[in-house]
Structure 1
Amino acid sequence: MESVRAGPFGRLFHPDNFVFGQSGAGNNWAKGHYTEGAELVDSILDVVRKEAGSCDCLQGFQLTHSLGGGTGSGMGTLLISKIREEYPDRIINTFSIVPSPKVVSDAVVEPYNATLSVHQLVENTDETFCIDNEALYDICFRTLKLTNPTYGDLNHLVSATMSGVTYPSLTGPELTQQMFDAKNMMAACDPRHGRYLTVAAIFRGRMSMKEVDEQMLNVQNKNSSYFVEWIPNNVKTAVCDIPPRGLKMSVTFIDNSTAIQELFKRVSEQFTAMFRRKAFLHWYTSEGMDEMEFTEAESNMNDLVGEYQQCQDATDNDEENV
């Protein structure tokens, strides 16, 4: 917090809007959600109410957090649930960093924290953008050719995506091709293993809207089997003619693909492997959690995977029968 406040962007934030405690959540979702985080959430909500009250037309809330630790997952989802209670008709979206076993971490309970969080995100958010640590490292190694990526490199990728920049120094057609390439996506799942439900592409820079529409239509026609046929007009494009700083053009690609179930399956399998042995469960029950919450979270995660699979298998005829 002090480094943010003293850094070059410190002046972007009002000094009274910094809220912090003396201890962390110790990589424990229950501490973040029920004990340590619960002590802070009212102070955070006071800041939220003050800022919301200053808005002429409040559209919604955006949260950036990690699902692997205790604070971002536990307190983050607690805050979201409180905001949902107070502002039920406002949009809530999150940028959620999903843990990966391939990325070195000192938190062995990351699958617990992530699964408990997904359960809450499904209930209380309108949009969740999954940003996968595994995919971030792959982009650093394979695309950016970094031999030893730092957290700064990973954070730069995330911030660039959030601000609408993903792939520099390409022409319009190349941009369109690259954004459908699995190696440029920030979730470690292959879109070729699923089907697109909805897609949005936001282009920035000086380019022809006609060319953009033609390229998007061309990609759709060539890959029609990867788009569900029962959602009409499921591709949205937008062009802003002001390029991002330092680049001639860029594109941000957002999709809701059934392939995302690969990511959820990965986390769920790790969760189940530990939960069946009741490994580290006492860390959570000692903070007031009930074992039934784990069972419910596991069931909800499996339901989420099942819903995506059902969407993937559905056809026009299925929808007509429904």
Structure 2
Amino acid sequence: MDAGEVTTTDHLCPHLQLTMREIVHIQAGQCGNQIGAKFWEVISDEHGIDPTGSYQGDSDLQLERINVYYNEASGSKYVPRAILVDLEPGTMDSVRSGPFGQLFRPDNFIFGQSGAGNNWAKGHYTEGAELMDSVLDVVRKESENCDCLQGFQLTHSLGGGTGSGMGTLLISKIREEYPDRIMNTFSVMPSPKVSDTVVEPYNATLSVHQLMSATFIGNSTAIQELFRRISEQFTAMFRRKAFLHWYTGEGMDEMEFTEAESNMNDLVSEYQQYQDATADEMGEYEEDEIEDEEEVRHDVRH
């Protein structure tokens, strides 16, 4: 969605013509923070912002919508409206020492020490839940500083522990507090070729289960192949109860796995129905075209 696009929440911002529609950016977990760091490099370059936060651009257009993603601080410095979250300090240190690491507000780095160990339950129910109040405090602070908050965007992966477990917990908490704001997620699914951890199908399926209640998932029927692959891997492991003790040990119940599996299967079936319906329509369309061509040929002969 374009950063300035008018949505149904505009009645909350009667002075819309005079203000920007701000977006609060959140990056969670190793993958989310690595993608987020690159996002800020690219967008800072587009807006003419250097690594110190100073504007070095040469076009008024670069400053026209800069407040959508940046807060203007004293000394004409631009600070990303970004919140960086992880359950271990390693990735945060990498971002901080990266090319645009000094751009971010130091208070907006929120991290634990233990890590999630690629365990969705740790991110969602134990380690991540303990850090949640600190994250929400920063979310509120950034939101309150906005003239007319448009919504939130989250970069995270679904295969690990923090981005998937804590990321989906954060989404549900934000939806509770800001039900009328847009929620965009940029969610990285596990790759079929490169696997970081054996429990990726569990983490991804449990995440999709949560995402379905807070977002619209995809708008292309091609995405069902991806969900079907994850679902099949999940079922193969869950049938044997492989690695399940990692999750139940954090307080999870097997019923949650069963519900997540059922939800994922429903999602795949729904996309299949749309795909079949589209294929039927295409078939009818092609048949009509053939009939029209035959009629034209018939007319030409006469």
Q: Deviations over 1:173-215 (max 9, x none)?
A: xxxxxxxxxxxxxxxxxxxxxxxxxxxxxxxxxxxxxxxxxxx
Aligned to 1:303: 266
Which of residues 157, 163, 172 is equivalent to 1:66? 157
Distance 1:316 1:257 in 2: 13
Q: Distance in 2 between matches of 1:264 and 1:316?
A: 20
**Distance (Å, rounded) in 1 between the aligned partners of 2:203 and 2:140:** 28
The percent identity for this pair of structures is 84
Structure 1, gaps ≥5 residues long? 130-255
Superposed counterparts of 1:76-87, under 5 Å? 76-87=167-178
1:274 corresponds in structure 2 to 237
Deviation at 1:6, TM superposition (A): 2.7
- Correspondence list, 1:67-106, <5 A: 67-105=158-196
State the Cα distance separating 1:73 from its structure 2 match: 0.5
Deviation at 1:317, TM superposition (A): 10
- How many Å apart are 1:110 and its aligned residue? 0.4
- Write the distance in 1 (CA, Å) between the matches of 2:130 and 2:224: 34
Once residues 316 and 282 of structure 1 are traced to their aligned partners in structure 2, the CA distance between those partners, rounded to angstroms, is: 43
Match of 1:9 among 95, 100, 105: 100
- 8 Å contact from structure 1 (residues 119, 297) kept in 2: yes
In the superposition, relative to structure 1, how do residues 315 and 7 fare at CA in structure 2: closer, same or farther (>3 Å)? closer
Partner residue in 1 for 2:201: 111
SS at match of 1:92: strand
State how far apart, in whole Å, the 2-side matches of 1:260 and 1:70 are.
23
TM-score (norm 2): 0.60
Q: Are residue 125 (structure 1) and residue 88 (structure 2) matched?
A: no
CA distance 1:258–1:317, shift in 2 (3 Å): closer
**Which residue identity does 2:222 align to in structure 1?**
A
- For the 8 Å contact 1:33–1:78, the answer to whether it is kept is yes
Q: Alpha-carbon deviation of 1:46? A: 0.5
Structure 1 pair 309–4 and aligned structure 2 pair: CA distance change class (3 A) = same
CA RMSD of aligned residues (A): 1.7
Of structures 1 and 2, the larger Rg is shown by 2
> Which aligned pairs between 1:158-237 and structure 2 lie closer than 5 A?
none
Residue type at the aligned position of 1:283: W
Q: Unaligned 5+ residue runs, structure 2?
A: 1-91, 282-302
Q: Which of 56, 76, 79 pairs up with 2:147?
A: 56
TM-score, normalised via structure 1 length: 0.57
Deviation at 1:313, TM superposition (A): 2.0
Tell me the equivalent position of 1:263.
Answer: 226
Q: Partner residue of 2:113? A: 22
Contact persistence 1:91–1:125 (CA under 8 A)? no
